[in-house]
Chain A
Amino acid sequence: MKKLSIPSKLAEAARVHDQVIADARASGYSDSACFAIRLALDEALSNAIHHGNRDDASKHIGVQYDITEKAVSITVCDEGPGFKPDKVPDPTLDENLECPHGRGVMLMRAYMTHVSFNDRGNCVTLVKERNCKLPERA
């Protein structure tokens, strides 16, 4: 298990997903799995920085990840009050299709094998199993 703590800056987030993807590739995860991990992790970090920590660079994002033969597991936590992921409107409904926001959580769920949030809603855990086909269409 590796642990990282970064300030709430997008440039720092880019370094985190570069490191995680490099480790996943070194463990033999496929291009399509790495595409999925990069996409989901980018959404999680972006949500943590903007919605969780409100772009406050004095606040930190905690990232823990573990890469095994079977799966890549990543937990991203911010210092915010949390949110209710089930309250996010379905962005694929016709009435929401032209809304420019609100697709991050659904993309994480589509591309990861498992996505879970803690009760407070400030930590998300993304799990990508090596043998999981992808992606699952909405």
Chain B
Amino acid sequence: MAKDSHLLIQRDRDIIRIEFLDKNILEEALIQQIGEEIAQVIDRSGNPKVLISFANVEHLSSAALGTLITINNKVRQKEGQLRLSNIDPQIYEVFVITKLNKLFQIFDTAEKALSSFK
């Protein structure tokens, strides 16, 4: 993890587990930094299996959704798999309203997400 990272990144066998450390994913400099850090991790992996947990997150913006879409596209380009988990009900509603719950594979818990990887 970089010294000033806003993410907790851990390897769990062949799965990259990422957790946001911030409650608010609103500020664009932060969102850009998070996006770049995750992109670097994906770039270093072949067929990346990535699980992003939102357990700590209370607010996010459309810019954060945009970064998640970019990450999803990058994972798919590398024939990997992306899962999201532990999303607060208020934030999940944002995914529903934007219909991004159709684009992302979202699970209640990290355990369910982990068992869904192929």
Contacts and interface: CB of A to CB of B under 8 A. Distances in A.
Contacts of B93: 135
B108 to A, nearest CB: 20
B79 interface: no
B100 A39 contact: no
Interface in A84-138: 91-92, 97-101, 103-104, 106-107, 110, 135, 137-138
Contacts of B105: none
A99 B103 CA distance: 11
Interface string B40-80: 00000000000000000001011101110110110000000
Nearest to A101: B66
A91 B94 contact: no
A121 B4 CA distance: 39
B102 A100 contact: no
A46 B28 contact: yes
A39 B61 contact: yes
Nearest to A105: B62
Given A10-B28, A97-B103, A100-B70, A46 B61 contact: yes
B94 A46 contact: no
Contacts of A91: 98
Interface string A1-40: 0000000001100100000000000000000100100110
A79 interface: no
B26 interface: yes
A32 B73 CA distance: 31
Interface of A: 10-11, 14, 32, 35, 38-39, 42-43, 46, 91-92, 97-101, 103-104, 106-107, 110, 135, 137-138
What 8 A-B pairs come out closest when comparing CB atoms? Answer: A100-B66, A103-B62, A92-B99, A100-B69, A110-B97, A104-B62, A100-B70, A42-B61
Given A103-B62, A103-B65, 6 more contacts: A10-B28, A10-B29, A39-B94, A98-B103, A101-B62, A106-B98
